[in-house]
Amino acid sequence: MACTKQHTTLPRATSRLTPLTTALTALQYHAYTIWLFPRSNLKDTLLPSTAFALSTALSAPTFDLPPLSPPTILSRLPIAVSWTWLAILMFCLHNQHRPSSVLEDLTNKPWRPIPSKRITTRQTDALLATMYPVWLAASWYLDALRPCLVLTILTIYYNELGGSEQGGFARNFLNASGFGCFFAGALQTLLGAGHEVWTPKAASWLAMVCLVIFSTIHAQDFRDEEGDSLRGRVTVISTLGNAVSRWLVVVAACFWSVFIPVTLGLGGAVLGLCCGMAGLLAFHLLRGLWERTVERDIMAYKMWCAWFVSVLMSPCLERVLGLAIGVRD
């Protein structure tokens, strides 16, 4: 009898668990859908933004910033990463919901939420409207409202008012300006409210980084030439040609790999690292002159991200190497 009673209670327990399981499955599905919106921007936006903020904060004396202990900086790093990820999500929601963007993604990135039919454009618009109060409130609370507002204006102009359809170098300028907002917000949220962030040296450092982006960011467009052509987008590549555009990135990367370490007074080891990374970038980009495949251009863009992060981390690496040499002596 006990056995019979046990068997009769199992279906009831299962039926009670079914709504919970369904809810968890739906939550997982929607969370992954949201994650897919900024997925392709993690390596080229989230990682560089985090590297800039972390390197600048750890090299505070170089930029006349208030020094914080490494444990304090690391404890605030998740806050900076979360703010930056939210900023990227807002940009991606604007960027991916238009019909022309969906058409391009069907060719270049068919796994994105809208072309893969995980979410509709109407639902994306509703999500965007829902996220704006969260985005603004978080930025206000973290004292990052200024970069938030500037980035919002740039995002709307770029995605909704035809900014991305401007000539190639105008698009590079908008990209550089947007990156500047990501970097500024990441640094502000990492240092915390009440800290003076934009000293003349820190502002000059950010300006240099924005110039690096302006002169090299079209490295991302080689992998997307087919989609850009389908959309009729004017890029640096369509303006100057594929070969000239590749050489432009190579020359600019080599220049910045020398100019930034020398300007910041960094040592030969850091200079050598930046130049070595620029050499690897040049190899992958120029190999595309005779081996032009999407896979090759994707690898070249990954190398651009790695080189760019090495430049951003150069002030911090100089300090780490200096401390290591001091301990050894």
Number of Cβ within 10 Å of residue 242's Cβ equals 16
Average the pLDDT over each of 1-5, 52-56, 289-293 and give the range with the smallest value: 1-5
Residue 163 has pLDDT above 90, yes or no: no
CA–CA separation, 113 and 102 (whole Å): 10
Per-residue pLDDT band at 329 (split at 50, 70, 90): very low
What's the chain's average pLDDT? 87
Per-residue pLDDT band at 323 (split at 50, 70, 90): low
The total number of residues shown for the chain amounts to 329
CATH 1.10.357 domain extents, the chain = 66-196
The tokens for 206 are 């950010």
The tokens for 170 are 């105008």
End-to-end CA distance of the chain, in Å? 81
pLDDT score at 16: 54
Per-residue pLDDT band at 23 (split at 50, 70, 90): confident
Per-residue pLDDT band at 14 (split at 50, 70, 90): very low
At position 218, the amino acid (one-letter code) is H
Q: Is there a contact between 227 and 96 (Cβ–Cβ < 8 Å)?
A: no
CA–CA separation, 115 and 313 (whole Å): 36
Residue 240 has pLDDT above 60, yes or no: yes
Residue 328 has pLDDT above 60, yes or no: no
pTM above 0.85, yes or no: yes
Where b means 16+ CB within 10 Å and e means fewer, 180-206 reads: bbbbbbbbbbbbbeeeebeeeebeebb
Angle at 182 between CA 178 and CA 187, to 5 degrees: 145
pLDDT score at 321: 67
Rounded to the nearest angstrom, the gap between the alpha carbon of residue 195 and the centroid of all alpha carbons in its chain is: 24
- Which H or E run contains 195? none
pLDDT score at 128: 94
Where b means 16+ CB within 10 Å and e means fewer, 95-126 reads: bbbbeebeebbeebbeebbbbeebbeeeebee
Q: Which fold has domain 66-196?
A: Tetracycline Repressor; domain 2 (1.10.357)
The tokens for 290 are 């005779």
The tokens for 99 are 């019909």
Residue 25 has pLDDT above 90, yes or no: no
List, for residues 91-146, the tens digit of each pLDDT value.
999 999 888 888 878 877 889 999 999 999 999 999 999 999 999 999 999 999 99
Q: What is the mean pLDDT of residues 229-251?
A: 86
